[in-house]
């Protein structure tokens, strides 16, 4: 059988549990404070996030509208040409009924 715990062993166990409870209490308090700050002062968080400089990559399609047609066609991945006709419109209306 095991020996009964001595008073010193019990005191040590209580001290360890006390430290664990205090650490948990501090963590919960910090978590609540951060939640309150982000709830009532979201601008601070947004400024902090966007204060970092993100690397900028030049946009390869800048001023795409001003490119010549042959360059647009060469750069396009899909070219779709459609013509709306009365017969297509009637066909679509017939399917919706």
Domain residue limits, the chain: 12-96
Predicted TM-score (pTM) of the model is 0.43
* pLDDT, position 97: 54
Positive or negative torsion for Cα 43, 45, 48, 51:
negative
* Average pLDDT, integer, range 78-93: 70
Q: CA 4 to CA 2: how far, in whole Å?
A: 6
Q: CA 22 to CA 16: how far, in whole Å?
A: 10
Q: List, for residues 24-79, the tens digit of each pLDDT value.
A: 999 999 999 988 888 888 877 777 777 766 667 777 778 888 989 888 888 877 76
Q: How many CA atoms lie within 13 A of 35 on its CB side?
A: 6
Q: CA 16 to CA 32: how far, in whole Å?
A: 24
Look at 14 and 93; give whichever has higher pLDDT. Answer: 14
* Average pLDDT, integer, range 19-23: 97
């Amino acid at each position: 059988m095991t020996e009964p715990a001595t008073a010193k062993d019990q005191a040590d166990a209580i001290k360890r549990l006390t430290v664990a409870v205090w650490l948990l209490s501090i963590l919960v308090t910090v978590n609540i404070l951060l939640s309150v700050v982000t709830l009532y002062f979201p601008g601070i968080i947004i400024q902090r996030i966007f204060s970092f400089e993100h690397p900028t990559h030049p946009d390869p399609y800048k001023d795409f509208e001003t490119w010549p047609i042959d360059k647009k066609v060469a750069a396009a991945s899909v070219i779709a040409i459609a013509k709306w006709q009365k017969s297509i419109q009637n066909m679509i209306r017939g399917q919706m009924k």
